[in-house]
Amino acid sequence: MKASILVSALALALPGAAALAQDYTLQPNYGTTTLNAGFSPDPIVVQLQSGGSVDASSTLGGNCRGYITNAPDYSVTYNAGSVFPFRIGVASDRDTTLVVNGPDGSWYCDDDGGEGLNPLLHFGSPMSGRYDVWVGTYGSTSNHNAQLFFTELDSVNADTVAYGGGGNYGGTPDWSLNPTYETVNLRGGFTPDPYRVRLQSGGPLSASDTASSNCRGYISEAPDVRLNFQPGSLPLIISVASSADTTLVINGPDGGWYCDDDSGVGTNPSIQWDRPMAGQYDIWVGTYGSTSLREAVLVISELYSE
C-alpha cells in the first residue's frame, strides 16, 4: 500500500533506490519490535551504538550522510492509525545521522533535523509496514553511544529522551562498553595522588533499578571511567567532588557492585577499600534524583577522599 508521507524539511526520500550496501534482509543489530498507533509507553527507546564502515553518502547519495553498518540497527513494524504522526529520532552527545528504508522501499535520510547535531525524521501521514533503521556517525567510522527513539508525540525530542523523557530505555549499566571519559592504569604508590578525571555525572538509567537495589542516582549505560589497578600496601579510595548531589556506582574486579551516596564531603560519595583487589574497576558517577548532567571530578587516591 502506498500513501503520501510528510518528511521533515531536512530529510530526503529516494524512491526506488536499490539497497546497495545496506541490506534490510539481514538480521538487525539491536532487535525488532511491532508498534500499533497509540502505543505506550511513548517514546520507545533503544540503546545502541552509532556508526559503521559504510559511507551512506556514497552508497545511497542524495541527502544521506554518516557511516553505517550493512545490516539495519533496528527494525520496527508500525501499524498506523488515522491520527498520529510517526517520528524516528536519535539522542547522542555525538554527531549522528539517520537512514531509514520505509515500507514503500524508499530511503529517508536526515542529519541535523533534531536538537543540536541529532537527526529526526517526521512522517506526518505514516504508512503501515516495516521501517528498517540505521544510525550513523557523521564524518567517522567510529562507534558512539546513542539512543534511537520512536514516538508519536511532538513533545518528545532528543533532549527529553536523553535526560528524563521517560519511556522504555531498555538499558543496563554495561561494563563491557568503552568508558565515556578515560581508562586509567595505576599501581600502588602512584603519583600524583590524587588522580583526577573531569567529567559530567548523570544519565538516563536508574542505578537502583538497573545495577543494584543498594545503588542510587541516575547513570549512563557505559562506564564513565575504567580503572585498572595493581594495589600496593595502601588503601584505594574513589570519591567525587561536585557542587551537585552525586553518587558512585562501581563494578569491581570480583564482579560485585559497590555503591555510595553521601559518605564523602557534603553530598558527595566516597568508597574505600582497605585491602583493594587487583583488576578492573568500572566506575559510574551518578546524579542523585535527576537524569540531568552535572559538572564533577572523579578522584582516585590512596591517601584521602574529596
> Domain limits at 199?
182-301
Last residue of a domain, one of 162, 190, 217: 162
Q: Are 226 and 298 in contact (CB under 8 A)?
A: no
Strands (E), 80-181: 86-91, 96-101, 107-110, 120-123, 129-137, 144-151
Percent of all residues in the chain with a pLDDT value above 70, rounded to a whole number: 90
Give the domain CATH number at 189. 2.60.120.380
The count of domains in the chain is: 2
Would you tell me how many other CB atoms lie within 10 Å of the CB of residue 124? 13
* Residue 144 and residue 52 in contact, taking contact as beta carbons nearer than 8 Å: no
CA distance 246 to 224: 13
Q: Are residues 17 and 156 in the same domain?
A: yes
pLDDT over threshold 60, residue 35: yes
- 6 inside domain: no
* pTM of this structure: 0.52
Task: Report the C-alpha dihedral over residues 289, 290, 296, 301, rounded to 10 degrees.
Answer: 40
46 lies in the same domain as 106: yes
User: To which H or E segment does residue 160 belong?
Assistant: helix 158-162
Q: Rounded to an integer, what is the distance from CA 4 to the centroid of its chain? A: 32
34 and 113 housed in the same domain: yes
pLDDT tens-digit profile of 37-46?
998 888 898 8
Residues 99, 192, single domain; the answer is: no
Give, rounded to a whole angstrom, the gap between the first and last alpha carbons of the chain: 63
User: 228: which strand partners?
Assistant: 185, 280
- Given a cut of 90, whether residue 73 has pLDDT beyond it is yes
Q: Is 154 exposed, middle or buried (0-12, 13-18, 19+ CB in 10 A)?
A: exposed
Q: Which residue matches cell numbers 554527531?
A: 95
Verify that 115 and 197 share a domain, yes or no.
no
Grid coordinates representing 92 are: 547522542
Of 162, 194, 229, the one marking the end of a domain is: 162
- Specify the DSSP class assigned to residue 37: T
CB atoms within 10 A of CB 84: 17
The reply to whether 155 and 187 lie within a common domain is no
Question: Do residue 155 and residue 281 come from a single domain?
Answer: no
* pLDDT higher than threshold 60 for residue 2: no
Identify whether 31 is part of a domain: yes
Same domain (yes/no): 93, 189: no
The answer to whether residue 1 sits within a structural domain is: no
Are 285 and 199 spatial neighbours (Cβ–Cβ below 8 Å)? Answer: yes
Mean pLDDT, to the nearest integer, of 68-85?
Answer: 93
Asked if residue 187 and residue 158 are part of one domain, the reply reads no
Give the integer Cα–Cα distance in Å for 62 and 274.
60
One domain for residues 205 and 106 = no
Q: Which pLDDT band, with edges at 50, 70 and 90, does 233 fall under?
A: very high
d(CA 89, CA 148): 6
| Domain annotation covers residue 236 | yes
Task: Evaluate whether residue 173 is within a structural domain.
Answer: no
Question: Pick from 205, 188, 203: which is nearest to 275 by CA?
Answer: 188
What is the rounded average pLDDT of the residues 229-243?
Answer: 97
Q: What is the 3-state secondary structure (H, E, C) of 189-248?
A: CCCCCCEEEEEEECCCEEHHHHCCCCCCCEECCCCCEEEEEECCCCCEEEEEECCCCEEE
Lowest mean pLDDT among 14-18, 89-93, 215-219: 14-18
